[in-house]
């Protein structure tokens, strides 16, 4: 059976495009540099407290959860993690603390430490994704702070990284603060809801402004608020049957209140179960895989050039 020249040309172009788009669906990073609080801490507070907090077991290897946290579930093996449980956006704004009244570095202090310890000339910025998730502790430690103040502090940290050449950012907004078991004692759900919404709105606007000012840098905003809200409404779809906490932690001890933690939204009064961390990671992966057109890998550029060469010679 003879294939015509036109048909052959058509099939070849389909093949080239198929290879190109398959490649673009992969996560284009091999290094994660993370700054944040207990949602992303993989053992920094545990080491700071001399392996005393969080209590292991039942907490998992110094994580504030019953298993690995979301940053470890992204499928990117090289993780450089400066996140500390209890961290705020900047200790010069409001100091972050963990148990035993130990102060911990805020986001800007974490970034300064990274800049001090890192040889910038050896960073492959195109293959490095910078992740920042923080802000909730600013409000927990100082409920009078405005959302604009906290978001501005976050943006200052992002600008610190832009100055050294960072090209890719994943920024996470705040979950609904009013639904945390710890904040229920505040008895101010309406205020916390409005505060969270204002924070997320200001953050979204600020990220959009950064993107318009730095067209050669990729900024992605992960809407954790909507994900957690959806889990609250449709918990059974995700295997989550309880929105309360499975454990309690009085006086630096742990009281286990349930036998099936992964059916719970919260492992304790402040932190998610590892099941929820998996859901966060799954959605973050999808966001990182999304084609954007801002920065292409060398392989992507090769496929595009191949397409035009094939179009010319056939």
pTM to 2 decimal places? 0.86
Q: Collect all residues with Cβ–Cβ distance below 8 Å to 167 and sequence separation of at least 6.
A: 125, 126, 128, 216, 217, 218, 295
- The Cα-based distances of 67 to 17, 35, 62, 70, 216 in angstroms read 40, 20, 9, 10, 37
Give the model confidence (pLDDT) of 12-42 as tens digits: 444 444 444 444 568 899 999 999 999 999 9
> Where are the chain's structural domains?
28-224
Average pLDDT score over residue span 52-72: 98
- Specify the pLDDT at position 314: 53
Phi, psi of 297 (to 5 degrees): -75, 160
- The Cα-based distances of 57 to 246, 264, 276 in angstroms read 14, 18, 19
Among 12-26, 70-84, 95-109, the minimum mean pLDDT is found in: 12-26
Average pLDDT score over residue span 308-312: 45
**Higher-pLDDT residue of 200, 26:** 200
Domain 28-224 is found in CATH 3.40.50.880:
no
Query: Whole-angstrom Cα distance, residue 32 to residue 13?
Result: 35
Q: What is the DSSP string of 32-78?
A: EEEEESTTT-SSHHHHHTTS-SS-TTTSSTT-SSSS--GGGGSS--E
Give the model confidence (pLDDT) of 252-283 as tens digits: 899 999 999 999 999 999 999 999 999 999 99
**Higher-pLDDT residue of 210, 292:** 210
Q: Collect all residues with Cβ–Cβ distance below 8 Å to 182 and sequence separation of at least 6.
A: 140, 269, 270
**Higher-pLDDT residue of 298, 283:** 283
Joined tokens for residue 255:
């009281």
């Amino acid at each position: 059976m003879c294939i015509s020249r036109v048909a052959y040309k058509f099939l070849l172009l389909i093949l080239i495009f198929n290879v190109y788009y398959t490649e673009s669906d992969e996560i284009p990073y091999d290094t994660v540099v993370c700054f944040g609080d207990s949602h992303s801490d993989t053992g920094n507070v545990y080491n700071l407290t001399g392996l005393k907090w969080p209590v292991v077991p039942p907490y998992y290897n110094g994580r504030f959860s019953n298993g690995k946290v979301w940053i470890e579930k992204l499928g990117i093996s090289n993780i450089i993690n400066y996140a500390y449980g209890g961290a705020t956006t900047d200790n010069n704004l409001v100091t972050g603390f963990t148990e035993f009244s130990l102060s911990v570095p805020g986001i800007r202090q974490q970034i300064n430490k990274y800049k001090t310890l890192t040889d910038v000339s050896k960073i492959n910025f195109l293959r490095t994704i910078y992740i920042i998730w923080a802000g909730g502790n600013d409000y927990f430690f100082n409920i009078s702070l405005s959302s604009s103040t906290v978001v501005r502090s976050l943006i200052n940290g992002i600008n610190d990284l832009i100055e050294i050449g960072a090209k890719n950012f994943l920024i996470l907004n705040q979950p609904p603060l009013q639904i945390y078991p710890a904040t229920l004692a505040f008895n101010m759900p309406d205020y916390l809801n409005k505060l969270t919404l204002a924070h997320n709105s200001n953050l979204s606007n600020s990220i959009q402004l950064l993107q318009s000012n730095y067209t050669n840098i990729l900024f992605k905003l992960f809407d954790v608020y909507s994900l957690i809200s959806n889990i609250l409404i449709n918990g059974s779809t995700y295997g989550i049957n309880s929105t309360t906490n499975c454990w309690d932690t009085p006086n630096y001890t742990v009281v286990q209140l349930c036998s099936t933690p992964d059916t719970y939204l919260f492992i304790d009064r402040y932190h998610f179960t590892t099941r929820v961390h998996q859901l966060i990671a799954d959605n973050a992966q999808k966001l990182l895989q999304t084609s954007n057109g801002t920065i292409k890998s060398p392989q992507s550029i090769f496929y595009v050039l191949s397409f035009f060469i094939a179009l010319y010679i056939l």
